[in-house]
Amino acid sequence: MEYATFGGGCFWGVEAAFGEIAGVTETAVGYMGGTLENPTYKDVCTDGTGHAEVVHIAYDPSKVSYQKLLEKFFEIHDPTQFNRQGPDYGTQYRSVIFFHSPDQERAAREAIEKLGGSGKFARKIVTQVVPASAFWRAEDYHQKYLQKRGLTHCHI
């Protein structure tokens, strides 16, 4: 197994989208990139901890490539919105790729460069590419939130 971590706004919809991909063996929502140890949802929602809402993914690279995960990431959110997605705003909703290896960093930066030059977006891509740090699993009620409610997607 290998791991990938993405923040693309509210983690519920991001988790649901990645959970549908063959080769993704596990998803968990949580927080990464901040300064507070073991943050709660309430802490992160203050927009003062520096954490992003993220989906931490375990995947089998023999069944799905990191490149395919990047493609899905850029399909499911607007990477040109700074610190927001749809009606949700704050640094916890930023577009961010937390890389777990130099190969992931290189692939992420190349994907952003290619997408930025494609003309698909009128505005500049603001997705951050930063090293993965401690992953803090969100509270149980956030895990598979949409699936538990019989939903496939949220407002984004």
Sequential pLDDT tens for the chain (156 residues): 999 999 999 998 899 999 999 999 999 999 999 999 999 999 999 999 999 999 999 999 999 999 999 999 999 999 999 999 988 999 999 999 999 999 999 999 999 999 999 999 999 999 999 999 999 999 998 898 778 777 766 754
What DSSP character marks residue 1?
Answer: -
Taking the CA atoms of 132, 81, 79 and 20 in sequence, report the sign of the dihedral they define: positive
Name the token pair of 80: 């040109």
Domain ranges of the chain: 2-148
Known catalytic residue: 45? no
Choice among 4, 5, 8, 10 that is catalytic: 10
Please give the C-alpha separations between residue 152 and each of 15, 87, 93, 102, 144, in angstroms, as whole numbers.
10, 19, 20, 33, 10
Tokens standing for residue 122: 């009128």
pLDDT, residue 86, reads: 85
Q: Domain spanning 2-148: which CATH class is it, in words?
A: alpha beta
